[in-house]
Structure 1
Amino acid sequence: MALSIGATLQIRSRRYSHNPKIFYHSAIDLSNRVFGSVSLPSLQSILLVVVHSLIDPGGCDVWTLTHIAMAHAVDLGIHREASTSGLFSSTAIELRRRVFFCVYSLDRSISTIQGRPLGLGDETFDVQLPELSDAQVQLINNRIRSDEFDDIATLSYSIQTFKMAQLVSKIKSEFYRLPVHLDFSRDYTTAREQLRDELGNWFAESTAIVLGTTDEDQRLRLITKLQIQYHGAMCLLHQPSQAIALPGDEALKVCYSSATQRLHLFEVLHDSGVLCHSWRTVQDMFLASATIMYCVYISAAVRSSVSIISLSKDFRACSSMLSVGGEWWPTIRKAKYSLERLSNYILETLADIPESDGAEMRVGRQPFPHDHTPDVANWPEPEISGTNSVQQTFLDVTFLDVVNHDGRMIDFFDETLTNVLMGEMQANSGFDTAFWDGFD
């Protein structure tokens, strides 16, 4: 399975020409021997299958696989901290920690992308985060080059990713709960500010650690990926949630800013030739663009702070990166087409709005002219042939869809939002709820 993953990535880098499916099928042929029992090696094998499915459109259901992995972790007891005075050596304990937090971070990431419940609550485990050994710290301090030094850099970055997964878990548990479980007497705005400070502290700490443990040729890539994680969490914190269904303009400005920063950072990775078009990457890029659209559409304050030129540039950047991803993920093409149609509509509509128009979407008025008719004839045409063809419908289908890893499409906006965006119904406070149905 590891060879299949490596071959897939090398093919996309134009460095390898053999079919990675050969390795994949060989691994599957041996799977009965591996998955016949619950063990740490079998759990590690499941993680490899998850990683493979994240980069291969024909892979397995990552949501189900991640929960199977979490069940294995609990069954093995690696969610509990082991004592060095017992049956486990310090090396074995460190391995247990790393495997558990790999499962944990995947669960938090996939659950957030798909808007689904977390697999295992933070209150149900006490295993500690992995940590660098004294010998590894000494190598870092002395800047001693060795084969282990690169592993240290990877581990340092991974530990920061695990910490971010914990912060995402806090945000999800705090703001994305069923209304019946929310305490509306609580000041969620204050809680949001506290979590925002925690995210800022995480970013400062993680950046310093990566700078101190990596070589210059790795720093740009790893720090850029940390920034992408940070801005993703900022969007999750400030966008509409069950706890704060109607965030204020300042929160939406933060959300808009972080979404645009994510696109710019993905573009940095793309231009550097180190952007892997995985299922998560494609989801994140699409979500960033959709978030930008929402913030611009819903808030007059955001609209007044952005230019059509910069907005158009961001949409083109996302479309360009999705085009590259579409080479490996055919189902991305429909999502890209939907994104382009909606972005064109928003840009056309913004161009028709007088600068003095400060209409606020959330008070029951449409900021866009009621009689506006988009120039549909000049919109990009969909692919109309082949197995991945897009039906030439306009309002009959959900307008924004996100590509699922198994080729299915996840509804991002429902038909209510679609009609609002197309100017077919009067906006009201239910808009935010309709939008958020696509998140959680």
Structure 2
Amino acid sequence: MWHIVGIAARMCLELGLHREQVYRPAKGSNANDPSQIVANEIRRRCFWCVVAMDRIVSISLGRPLAIHLQDADVALPDLNLDGTVNSDSEDQSTSSFCRTAIFVHIVRYRILCGDILSALHNGSTRTQTNEVPALASRDKLANELAQWRQDTSTLSLPDVDLSSTLPGDRSSFRTREWYEMLYYNALLMLYRPSPGLSSASSRDAVVLQTIFVAAKQAIALYAHLHRSRRINYTWITLHSVFMAGLSYVYAVGRHFRSHKRNIPGTSTRTALLENNPTIIEIVNDSRACSNVLVAISERWNVTKNCHDVFNRLSDAMLSDAVEYHTRASSEATRTASAADVPSGASFSVQSDGAGGTPLGYWQINEIGATALAVDSVLHECFDDLQRFQPYGCGDDPVGQLSHDWLGEIGGVGLNLNSMW
């Protein structure tokens, strides 16, 4: 796919499809000729298809973009020509449904994701020392993403007919859940650890909560699309589902590790989620992600073991959650028993501020004690995560996140610049 998209990108540039003047009527030709209008619109859409695929493949593989929009001045397809270009489509029976509007909306999303890649995850951001521009870019892109999500309501999507045998009638492009899933995938890309931001800026509580919520929602939406037979069983989908699952494990692991590092009597606190994930919540989310991974992996033998890696990580995460809640329950019992102690005895119980559970039950005496079961499994699976892509070298999102995670727990140096 990488080579095919690269060839297509160079063909577009060679044909001049990135320049608006190519689509203007030639001298002496009829500007109102319907066949010429359709031909130009098809060429225009071919260019934007390549742009969209370029973003998808580059983001999935962690590689540079082939087409930079700074070099292009071509406009997006004209919505007013939808009836002309798609005159043979049965969808035109629905007057409010515009196929071109859906296409443009998806292309806008891919362009936005490409901007996120360039602003936060490309090679030049690994050597910059001033993170202010990166933070400003992240805020700007977050606003643009929110606007894109809001614009989804204007698409007038038709009802999905699951009883139809036509693939188009069950297309994921026609369901709002698919666009919500895209939104949360972009949030993960926007807020996950990146070379463009320091560890302090990418690991605060707000960012951690955003990663957790986005991963949780993405998993739920993928599971819903899978159950309703509206998911695309491609390696790109497999990569996105695995990334959502890995981000979920990463966020929950950081939360429980933070509980171990928060020492009573000190003002220093590391990032925590707003609420402690329950055991049932973790089980349900992990199972939903695993089921989708298994369903897609059956069609892609190259990455067939990815669901095994996720299951090992999620099992370890569940073990940490069980230990946390068991100790919390024991501490609560001791606290309740303390109420019966004679008035001459005195002691204090501190709260962690996240879920109201006592803070003293997971105290530590040394840094090594903060390691979790999921951290140990990460060490064991690290090589598999770095080679998630068949020809990857750790630059893809899975490789970057696993490397940052390992650096956070002390497996490698926290300075990513030396590795890249």
Tell me, in whole angstroms, the C-alpha distance in 1 between the residues paired with 2:218 and 2:240.
8
Q: Secondary structure at the match of 2:383?
A: coil
Q: Secondary structure at the match of 1:92?
A: helix
Where do residues 156-175 of structure 1 align in structure 2 (5 Å cutoff)? 156-175=101-120
Alignment match, 1:31: none
CA RMSD of aligned residues (A): 3.9
Q: Secondary structure at the match of 2:130?
A: coil
- 8 A Cα contact 2:109 2:148, kept in partner: yes
Tell me, in whole angstroms, the C-alpha distance in 2 between the residues paired with 1:431 and 1:181.
14
Q: Secondary structure at the match of 1:252?
A: helix
Q: 1:249 to 1:399 in 2, by over 3 A?
A: farther
The one-character-per-residue Cα deviations of 1:55-75 (angstroms, maximum 9, x if unpaired) are xxxxxxx11111111001101
Alignment match, 2:349: none
The one-character-per-residue Cα deviations of 1:361-404 (angstroms, maximum 9, x if unpaired) are xxx956x655x778x9xx9xxxxxxxxxxxxx983862436654
Alignment match, 1:194: 140
Tell me, in whole angstroms, the C-alpha distance in 2 between the residues paired with 1:333 and 1:121.
34
The one-character-per-residue Cα deviations of 1:335-368 (angstroms, maximum 9, x if unpaired) are 11111111111211232234445999xxx956x6
**Per-residue deviation at 1:190?**
3.3
Tell me, in whole angstroms, the C-alpha distance in 2 between the residues paired with 1:244 and 1:238.
10
Corresponding residue to 1:260 among 204, 216, 235: 216
Tell me, in whole angstroms, the C-alpha distance in 2 between the residues paired with 1:335 and 1:342.
11
Alignment match, 1:130: 77
- Mark the runs of 5 or more structure 2 residues left unpaired by the alignment: 162-168, 259-271, 329-357
- 8 A Cα contact 2:126 2:416, kept in partner: no
Q: 1:182 to 1:328 in 2, by over 3 A?
A: same
Alignment match, 2:16: 77
**Per-residue deviation at 1:432?**
8.2
Corresponding residue to 1:234 among 163, 187, 191: 187
Tell me, in whole angstroms, the C-alpha distance in 1 between the residues paired with 2:75 and 2:313.
45
Q: TM-score, normalised by structure 1?
A: 0.67
Runs of 4 or more above 6 Å deviation? none
The one-character-per-residue Cα deviations of 1:245-279 (angstroms, maximum 9, x if unpaired) are 32122012112211111111111111101222111
Give the number of aligned pairs.
343
Q: Does 1:395 align with 2:380?
A: yes
Q: 1:420 to 1:117 in 2, by over 3 A?
A: closer
Question: 2:158 is aligned with what amino acid?
Answer: T
The one-character-per-residue Cα deviations of 1:212-237 (angstroms, maximum 9, x if unpaired) are 25345469853122111111111111
Q: 1:409 to 1:313 in 2, by over 3 A?
A: farther
Alignment match, 1:311: 282
Question: 1:336 is aligned with what amino acid?
Answer: H
Tell me, in whole angstroms, the C-alpha distance in 2 between the residues paired with 1:359 and 1:244.
33
Alignment match, 2:263: none
- Mark the runs of 5 or more structure 1 residues left unpaired by the alignment: 1-61, 380-392
Q: 1:195 to 1:429 in 2, by over 3 A?
A: farther
Tell me, in whole angstroms, the C-alpha distance in 1 between the residues paired with 2:65 and 2:373.
42
Q: 1:164 to 1:213 in 2, by over 3 A?
A: same
Question: 2:317 is aligned with what amino acid?
Answer: I
The one-character-per-residue Cα deviations of 1:68-109 (angstroms, maximum 9, x if unpaired) are 110011011101113534268332221121001110001101
Q: 1:263 to 1:188 in 2, by over 3 A?
A: same
- 8 A Cα contact 1:157 1:222, kept in partner: no
- Structure ID, larger Rg: 2
Identity of counterpart residues, as a percentage?
22
Alignment match, 2:2: 63
